[in-house]
Structure formats: C-alpha cells, structure tokens
Structure 1
C-alpha cells in the first residue's frame, strides 16, 4: 500500500512509519517542523515534507494514488491535509486503526504497556530484554532508543510490544494478549473530564486484555475486578538506579515469567545493562540530563534517581499544559526537596481551554515546602549561565518537561560547544 503519515515526526506516528516501511509499504508524509526523525527518514529515502497545507499530499496522490492517510491525534478536524484526504476519497484513520491492521495482517500477539507514568521506559526495557535474550520482536516506543529505531517490524516475531497511550482513549482500541500497567494517576483532563472516567477507562482496558500484570496499589485505586490479572506487591532487587526504574523492571521480569521465555539470572543481567530511552533521564552532556516528566510524582521519582547519581542536583522545570496545572497545582508540595535549587519556567501551552486563566509560576509554587530554593525563570541566557555554573561546580542539572525545554537545552549545547 501507499501510506501517507501526517505528523510523521512525532513520537506517536514516527514509530509507525518505520513499522510500515519494514512491513513493505510505500511511505510518505509531512510534519510542521523538522525533527531528528524527519531528518532520519529523509536520509532513508522516505518522501518527507515540512508544511501541511495539503499541496504535498495532492502531489503525491496525483503521482501514485494514496491508499491510506494516517494522522496524529493532534490534528484538528479542520486540518488542511485531513480535509483534502476526505475530498480525494482516501481512507483516513488515527494510529490505532493502522496498528490494529498491522497486528492482524502479520498475526502478532500484542503486549501492551499502559499507565500514567513509566510507559516509555518500561516498553524500552522490554524491547531491550527481548533483543538481549534473542527473541525476535516487533515494537513501537514513543521515544528514541540508543539500541534501535523507535518502531520496528520483524517478520520472525510472534509478539508486538506497544507503548499503549491512554490519551484520546487510544488504548481502548486494542484487545491485548498481555497488558502491563505501570502506574495510574488521574491525567489528561481534556480526554477524561473526571477522575471516575479515567479509572473506568483503565478498568475497561484490563477487561479487554486476556491477561494483565499490575501493582496492588493501582488495582485497589481503580477498584478493578482482577480475576484475570497478576497483582504484584514487591519490587525485586535489580542493579538499576532509581526506585521507579526498579519497579518498571520488576514488571518486565513478570512478563518474562508469564511467557516463560528466559532464565531469571539472564533477565537480571540484561536489565542491569539497559541503556535507557530518549528523554528519560537521558544524559546529554557532562552533568546535564533531560527528562520528559511533567507530573509531581514523575518529578519526585526522577529527583530520587538523580540523587542516587549525585549528591547535588539542580532542577530546571517547565510545566506542561495550563489545564493540567489547574488540576494538579495543589499537588505541588514536597516533590522538589531533593533539588538544591529549582528554576521554574512558565507553563508550556498546548490544547488549552481559551476561557481558563493562565496560571503563573508564582501561583504554582505557593504550597512548596522548599519555596525558598525556587527561582522563577525564563529560557534565556541568564538561565543558561546558571546551568553552566552549576555544571562547572560538579552539580547534576536535570531539565524536565514535555514542552520546549529539551530542544532549547540541546540547541544551547550545540551553540556553546559544551
């Protein structure tokens, strides 16, 4: 088939592009801006354009008719490419429908990794482990990997490992052979207006799964009837920094036990060598790390990991989405105590309610127990100088957020040569 991906540089669509190509389909697509993935795909002779006014889609369709238009959930209903695809009579769908087609076409058993926090790392760990113990695997991970592409189809594989996101109710479109639930905390109020709707979605996901592995605390929280679930209580001892990493790895070991595919000692050795995934406590320079976390529990967990690596940690934090901040502002309490200093940036705005007032950094830090160590800051040269000073003093600088903070700090690294 000829498949056009709209938003092919993003973490949701990007891995599917690589999977579709591996599966023998002709690929082309667009995005609004360049990214490492768009550049990588172009180097691999995929037709990629930057800009989404519809002209490239029309041109491609005239040369070789497009069979399927796959688009990201971020596309609005009035998006130029989406409207044009409809006018041209091209089949259109979001990523879940296309992935379901691949699973059925290739007769793959789905191992889905779901949860509020830890999905990317846990999915990456499971893919890493499968590769290490010599089991062919197909997969999709919502981040870059140091040990392979973000998405892959292996014709020898029996299983497909998928980072199964709850946003836009994506995960409810699947009936997994096996599901892992990493953690559950109410999130995505733009998709789930109430906490009850959020927990109900996870109960439904578990009901749709042939088998599920999850933590006792999460099973109790959502009040699931876990008759066909393996509920676990204790973290096993593993040679990994960070309590949340050890918890995620514990889930992975249970998958191996359930599938009966490797010896415990081989699993422990392999997980101890896990190199991590992009933007999950990713080292991008001396004493400088980037992390995607943007929820109070993620911040606390990542700071705990950072303190296992260094006795002195400086945090640069960019909150994500104003409507999320309105819901979690009272949860900002003692999560920042492991940081010597915190530089708090304005909230990155996306998918906002235009009638909701924008919360300032000052409003968000009101209840912090260590407010005296927090500096309201901007992404400017003053902040970069503070980061460089902390690094020169041997402190670990952790830049956290799901918005523009990662690109900004990487660009500063390139321009400063450090």
Structure 2
C-alpha cells in the first residue's frame, strides 16, 4: 500500500512511541533497530514469527505475531511496510485514531535527518554494495550507522546506530523511497529499468534517478558505475548540473578503476587504481571471499565511496576482507551427499545473469541446477522471456509458479513465460506447481557434484533447507 510522505518529516526522537506494521521485513526491521538503540519506544507486528523478530525482542522492541488494532494502544506514530494491504486492521485503526502514519521511506529519513548520508542506489547490487561499504568503514573505525536491506553475517545485523555523523543507507527506488532522502554522497551501481508496475514506463524509471540527483546536498558528490549505460548517462547529467562526479569501473578513464580481475571457485581478487589524488595511482590489491565479477564491481563502488570520504585504502580493504556475503545474496545453505545448495534474491534478468556466472564458478566441474521462482505478475509480464533466456546458462532448471506478493493473479501471465524461454533441451526444464513439487523435482535430479541454486525474491528461500532435509534422509537410509 502507499502512504503519503509528509511535507515535514520529524526527527525520530520527536515521533513518540513508534509502531511498525510489517516489522519483520528487512527494511522496517532496520529502522526499528536503530530507533531501539536510540532509546525510542518501539513495537511492531508481522504475520509470522522470525529470527528478525526474535532479535528485535532481545534488543528491546515489543513484537507481535499477527495484526490487531489493540497493538496501537499508547502509540503515537505508525510506520507501514509497502507490502501491507489497505485492509490491515492496524492501518485502519491508525487512520481512525488520527495517528501519524509514515511510509518506510519517511521512517528511514527520520533517523538520518541529522547525519551525513551515503545513499547506495541502483537497480541491482544495492544490498551488496551497502553491506560492503559498512564493513569497509568498520575497518577504518568510522563508527558509521547503517541500514541495509538484508542481514549481513559479518556485521551481525542489518542495522546499527553508530556514534559518528556517517550513515550508510540502502536507497530503494522500487516505490520512489530514495527520493525522500537527502544524501551527502550518492552511489549509483546501475540504472536498468525495473519496477514498472510503479513507474509505468522505462523513461519514467530513468527520470526518477535524474530526480534523485537533485536530492544530493550542496558540497556532495555522485559516484557512478561507468560501465553501465544508465548510470554513465546519469554521471554525465550530474556533471552538467555542476555536481561533483566520480566514476568507477573498468575503463582506463574511470576515476577509480578495477584491473587484473581474477575469479576462482570461491574468491575474487583485483587491483585498484585511483585518480582522486590528482595523479594515476596504483592503490593495491583487493581479495574478496566471494566469487563473481559483479561482487568485485560492488566492492569497487564501496571503496570509491570510502576514498571520497577521506579514508585510507588499506583500512577500507581490511574491513572488506571479512565480507562473506549478505543474507540471500549467493548465500550457502548447506550441503549433503556432495550436493551443495545456495540461495539468492535475484529476480531480474540482469541479476539472474550475474548470479549464474558466480554460481558457475562455484560449481567448478559440477552441474549447475537452478530453481527459479518468478516474482510479481507485472515483472513476469515484462521480463519473463528475458528471465528464461538467462536461466539457460544452467544445466537443469526448475521453474515454480509466480510469487504474487502484493499483486493479484492474472490468468494471462504465468511462469510458462519464463520456462518456455529457457534455451535448454525440454528434458532439462522442469515445471513445479508449488514449492513442495519443486523440492521433489530437485531431489530427483540432483546428483553428487551438483551445485543447486534457488533464486527469487519470494518464499523460494524455503526450498534449499527442505531439499537438504530430503537428501540427508536418503543418506541416513530413510526414504
């Protein structure tokens, strides 16, 4: 649902007691955690219990399972997830009582309004780049705050209220949230049309990023990935507007560039060169404990931002050295019977291509088996064929039904749009009407040496653990 952003967003300390509807989501839980750490009274509800809810309870928040108007007793402000429906009883009660209603974007802005924000935006790579920058700054003892759209194992959380003025924030464009923030520095990883259910057209999506340029504070800067056409065009526009512009990427003319990239089965390394000091300087080598070119590029963006903030390259790299991934970003789920299982959030053709490239490196000489759950009817309608084409890089593909999320089904749009475009022999493309069937299919085709990758932004994340349970049962002699 859409909640209007107020003309004036009060600082978090002026919101009174705050209740979050959908507190178990990555976005709202991050804001709630920061408020709790600032001593603000926080409560929230979600449809089911989760590790995030349990963690927030331990931190001091009151978290309910299920939605009920009674949860709003004593509440002054209600922050609402975009995934919540208009019929939610807590939202209806908040309206009836005249409580302050804020969307997620305004909730995040309320905790960032007095900070120097580094906003990470872009169609793909936001979570990874934000996570990497937060870790890089930890290597510099920067004491930065951060709000990330996923849990990061090495950080122990998806959010923190740091003691310095620096605040690293994942700036989501899906619902226009990034247009609420006022960053000092903006990092744009790429601009590749998505979320057309909200924007309507590709040109409107690109226009939102141009509007985002106007949110950068005076004296700030844009850091843009030079090798992506969309972000490169944005960099040109920023220069025309007189905004300091730093380009990072592979090109010899990039201000911060990557060279000598090496990708092994479980790691990547590359050399960083920089012109930020006025001369072309070789800064040193970065070693990442994750494979894949897109991870190297995300790390380069994080390093460029850290350098622009004045931090030393060696300290930034030291912080990055312990990065092992964010939740649901090529995350290892486990292994059984020489079958390894990974899970990732990829749900756009470009993201699918990047993750399959990384997964292929991880698979080595083994087969790559992918289970993909399309996300949203609107996205499948527009990108379904391209999704299927990218999935053709696997050896075996299982396609489930569409995860509807906030949308209603459309009889004219099905996962067949995806499955029918996979460029593999028919016997290597499997349809699954639900996730239980997906697990059975995967169990029937998986063999020693395979790497199984579950992909999608929905509940396909449950498939990996269920598959491992079946495989372990077999190895223990159970049917």
Q: So what's the TM-score if we normalise by structure 2?
A: 0.80
Structure 1 position 226 matched with structure 2 position 238: yes
User: What's the counterpart of residue 131 of structure 1?
Assistant: 138
**Gap change, CA 1:387 and 1:46, over 3 Å in 2:** same
Correspondent of 2:222 among 194, 212, 216: 212
**Which whole-Å deviations, capped at 9, do the CAs of 1:139-189 have from their partners, x for residues lacking one?**
1111111122211112x2221111110021100001110011111111112
User: What's the counterpart of residue 294 of structure 1?
Assistant: 347
Higher strand share: 2
Deviation at 1:25, TM superposition (A): 0.3
> Equivalent residue of 2:390, what SS?
coil
How does 1:334-373 map onto structure 2 within 5 Å?
334-352=389-407, 356-372=410-426, 373=428
> Equivalent residue of 1:15, what SS?
helix
Q: CA RMSD in A?
A: 2.2
Q: So what's the TM-score if we normalise by structure 1?
A: 0.91
> Equivalent residue of 1:204, what SS?
helix
Which consecutive residues of structure 1, in runs of 5 or more, have no partner in the other structure? none
CA contact (8 A) 1:334 1:370 kept: no
**Which whole-Å deviations, capped at 9, do the CAs of 1:118-154 have from their partners, x for residues lacking one?**
1111111111111122110111111111122211112
**Which whole-Å deviations, capped at 9, do the CAs of 1:102-131 have from their partners, x for residues lacking one?**
223xx2111101111111111111111111
How does 1:190-209 map onto structure 2 within 5 Å?
190-209=197-216
**Gap change, CA 1:357 and 1:221, over 3 Å in 2:** farther
User: What's the counterpart of residue 252 of structure 1?
Assistant: 302
CA contact (8 A) 1:323 1:353 kept: no
CA contact (8 A) 1:186 1:198 kept: yes
Cα distance in structure 2, aligned partners of 1:371 and 1:314: 14
CA contact (8 A) 1:219 1:226 kept: no
> Equivalent residue of 1:190, what SS?
helix
Which consecutive residues of structure 2, in runs of 5 or more, have no partner in the other structure? 1-15, 251-256, 259-269, 271-285, 474-479
Deviation at 1:89, TM superposition (A): 2.9
How does 1:59-98 map onto structure 2 within 5 Å?
61=73, 65-98=74-107
Deviation at 1:374, TM superposition (A): 1.7
Correspondent of 1:153 among 161, 170, 189: 161
Cα distance in structure 2, aligned partners of 1:396 and 1:305: 11
> Equivalent residue of 2:64, what SS?
strand
**Gap change, CA 1:392 and 1:17, over 3 Å in 2:** same
Cα distance in structure 2, aligned partners of 1:331 and 1:19: 39
User: What's the counterpart of residue 102 of structure 1?
Assistant: 111
Cα distance in structure 2, aligned partners of 1:391 and 1:285: 14
Cα distance in structure 2, aligned partners of 1:152 and 1:220: 32
> Equivalent residue of 1:246, what SS?
helix
CA contact (8 A) 2:400 2:438 kept: no
Deviation at 1:2, TM superposition (A): 1.4
CA contact (8 A) 2:330 2:343 kept: yes
